[in-house]
Structure 1
Amino acid sequence: MGLPIKGLEPFRSREFTCYFISRFLSALATRMIDVAVAWLVYDITGSPIALGLIGLAIFTPNILFLLIAGHAADHYDRRRVLMTCYCVASTASFGLYLTVTTHSVSPPIIYALIFLIGTARAFSSPASAAIVPSLVPKENFANAIAVNASAYQVATIIGPAVGGVAYMFGAPFVFLATTVLSLSCVVLIYMLKPRPPAAEKSQITWEYLTAGLKFIRFNKTLLGLISLDMFAVLLGGATALLPMFAKDIFDTGPEGLGLLRSAPSLGAVVTALLLARFPLNKRVGMRMFQAVAVYGIATIGFGLSPSIHFALPCLVLLGAADMVSVYVRSTLVQLETPDDMRGRVSAVNSMFIGASNELGEFESGVLASLMGPVPAVLVGGVGAIGITLSWMRLFPALRDRDKLA
């Protein structure tokens, strides 16, 4: 029996549906935690550097466990890897709940628990990305990427708003809810069939562990894709400073922060659904570069916004542009990587994404402490545009890429 809406063919698979729901719930929990922790830390410290350290705590596991996470995704049942990661995430969420209920809140404790959540993400990201091709037929894979991204982005729209409103009932309420959401993901992934290791069992050598790095290094398309996203978002990321803009510039509370956090994902999810219905069929390389340039322009617009009413449309546009880049990058990374290496390559990709997002938050926090939040955002937007123009010259084959497949 066919699906009536073109672009939703991946849902013919019950396993993909379970995975999709788990992806949604996991992202929902992640964004609720992001908002609650950011507000909690800034409320305690009032320091932009303290906000930046949240991103650093989440990102550090990507570096520490890069090679091991990729190996785990290729060498072990990806289903079990995901279940373990969600168990760890639920434990860390419950730890945050206990911390605030026992009135033992301090930045070091929060950073330690966030580091644990970052470790779960470091292992779950490559396993999650690598498992998708086994859930749908190859002809539906591009649609599955867009639909899967929409699950993440819809949750990222709802999550900050829900987290901001839920925070009005107290931080313990938020962290208890995210604990339940992560445990629900364990149940959903358990419903998938066991996935045998993609790579044959072999002696673990340095060459085996670094194969993903070498594969990307010698594949100019993937190298250009991943490095473009890392440097553009690293410079242009403004999400770490949203608590400062919400509280100090736009004079709003956690509910306003939730709206600001949700706005980029509103643009992203609309774009993801459009891409699922109307996939990019030509000039995909140039479209990606154009999208990253728009991302930089939207970042500048946000930095210059005099009120939250001007800022929200800029963030919506920012998210829409970023989604085009995510769509092209995610599809090409999976299609151009052999299945027995997808875990290791996806781990490297996740590390670059972490560098652009979480490490970008640390960079933004440090820059804001030196020159203020508005100049920091403006410098980042200009930097993202500069990186786009430079990468168009450095990677002409990527710029001229016509088709995804």
Structure 2
Amino acid sequence: MIEYFMVYALLWILAYLQAIKSNTESNKLFWMQGVVLLVFSALRFETGYDWPVYSSHYNGEMGDAGLVFEPGYQLLVFAFTSLGIPFKYYLSCITAAMIVALMALTKRITPKYKEIAIAITFSLPDFYLIPIFSVIRQTMSLLILLIGIMWLCEGKKKRAYFLIIASFAFHYSTLIIFPLILFVRSLKLSRSTYYVIFIFSFFGYLTSIDFASLFLKSAVELFMPSYGMYMSRDTFNASFFYRAVTGLLTIMIALAVAKSRTYANKDWGGESSFSLNIGLLALLLPILLFNYPTFTSRFMFLGSFFIMALSLYYFHEVLNVKKFVTCLICSVVFALPLYRFLSSSFSTPFVPYQSMLFYDESNSTGNERTQDLLDMLDSLW
């Protein structure tokens, strides 16, 4: 666990240094954060939930019963295997590409607070460790899609549509996400409408009344039948106190995001309320579709950029909180979800962290620990 908190500390130290010289706009410290993430993530070995599956697929060990992945990912695997590149170096390359894309998007969407935003991203497992270390195909697809949407908003339509179509070839879930984003892009709702939607969803979450399951199940069965596993096995298990606290925190963040409409309106090349709607949708999904936390966490990654951009704007510009104070508050608060994840039984494939500099197939326990977790989940299901 210590390796994760060493990275956590380095990212926040760099964010503090930038906050101290807040009057100077510089990208050096931000890209130093990127180097820290790159070294830590791209050099990992048998660390993360899906390593055994992707390794077996890459090495052709599944036979006729193997998983059939999307054509874009299959083509990528074919290109690397044709060159005789071992799986661990293949994964290093695509991890490096994902981190460069993550950094570029953070810089584009959160230009004034990018150092704080990237430190927060690492702190939240659903925004970094799980997407980058585990659900690789979907993360690649979402990052490509988001870059395409960014270019679409900037009027670069040809290259935008090329990337959007390419994103479908890496994970079919974007076939649902892209139309949803187009719909959200066209929405122009008042604050009061947002508040009503969130209060209605909060009531359902607090009382465990599942308003959206019927629609979600129908959509999944129609467009993404492979996600049926999450529908049948995903479980919601939280006390009333936990739901109350989580719901209230979500509403508080949503209020901050909604009050940042000024920033949302002038961002993204004049796209009125686009980032605002995406941020609020990402906050809404976990309490509206609370029965499927695994399912919704995959989609929350897309909205995390906008949630942080608008929330940090609210802290800094509306409440006039200094960057250094924001760093201090966030570095303390966000240590909790990281510790909670790493100390739970679900972090078995992540702890201890293994680097390819120090581990190989003869002394690694990563795949064994992943199998232990799967056995435990099978017994619970």
TM-score by length of 2: 0.34
Q: Which has the higher contact order (CA 8 A, sep 6+)?
A: 1
